[in-house]
Structure 1
Amino acid sequence: MAEIRVLDKHTAELIAAGEVVERPASVAKELLENAIDAGATQITLSVTRGGIAQLQIVDNGSGIEAEYIDKAFIRHATSKIASAEDLSHIHTLGFRGEALASIASVAKVEV
């Protein structure tokens, strides 16, 4: 019988990233959804080499306060829900708090 083991954090994060980041288009989708959820009315997507060299989103949404930038990149950190009860009242495109952490685990990210 095969041994069951708990994966190390890095490997687990790469697997989680694979669920969110299948290709550059999925990164663009996640970031565009974040911009829409932040109330953006203007969004510009710039792509170089199909998103492999660079993928940039600029928007006029409410964004993230500077003091929360680091926290925004921690897995399951989100401003959209606080408890399990909130799950039945979600009115946003994303809420799990995995996108930024997953993207940052497989890409160079600048905010």
Structure 2
Amino acid sequence: MSEIKVLEDNVISKIAAGEIISRPLNIVKELIENSLDAGADNIIINIDKNKISVEDNGCGIGKAYIELAFMRHSTSKISSEHDLESISSLGFRGEALYAISVVSEVDLFTKTEDDVT
């Protein structure tokens, strides 16, 4: 997993989309894209009346980056304007987890290769 960092203002101004989560479908889409970007090839989605859960076998988020991952414009995908020329991931703006956390209660359970199984 790459290091998650807050983007600098000059990069934010080029990419900011003001991600809006207006429906549960948007949450599911964003979480599936996060799973795919994390290299998952097995994604389990459960939807109940008041809960959406996504479980995958992606690379996970290192414990040191969990809080940072929910900050607006925090991403592991890019760090400079130059990186915008070669984006290969579905998400890169660092807006989705922040936007989801604004409209819902989020519980994150994650494990990386370095974590004891």
Q: TM-score, normalised by structure 1?
A: 0.80
Query: Runs of 4 or more off by more than 2 Å in structure 1?
Result: none
Rounded to whole Å, the distance in 1 between the matches of 2:90 and 2:20 is: 14
1:29 alignment partner in structure 2: 29
- Shift in Å at residue 55 of structure 1? 0.3
Aligned to 1:110: 107
Displacement of 1:20 after TM fit? 3.0
Structure with larger Rg: 1
Segments of 5+ residues of structure 1 without an aligned counterpart are 1-15
Name structure 2 gaps, 5 residues minimum: 1-17, 109-117
Q: Secondary structure of 2:58's match?
A: coil
Aligned to 2:15: none
Of structures 1 and 2, the one scoring higher in RCO (CA 8 A, sep 6+) is 2
- Where in structure 2 are the equivalents of 1:1-111 lying within 5 Å? 16=18, 19-49=19-49, 53-111=50-108
Q: Cα distance, 1:108 vs. partner?
A: 0.3
Equivalent pair of 1:33/1:94 in contact (CA under 8 Å): yes
Aligned sequence identity (%) = 47
Question: For the Cα contact (< 8 Å) 1:40–1:59, is it kept in 2?
Answer: yes
Equivalent residue pairs, number: 91
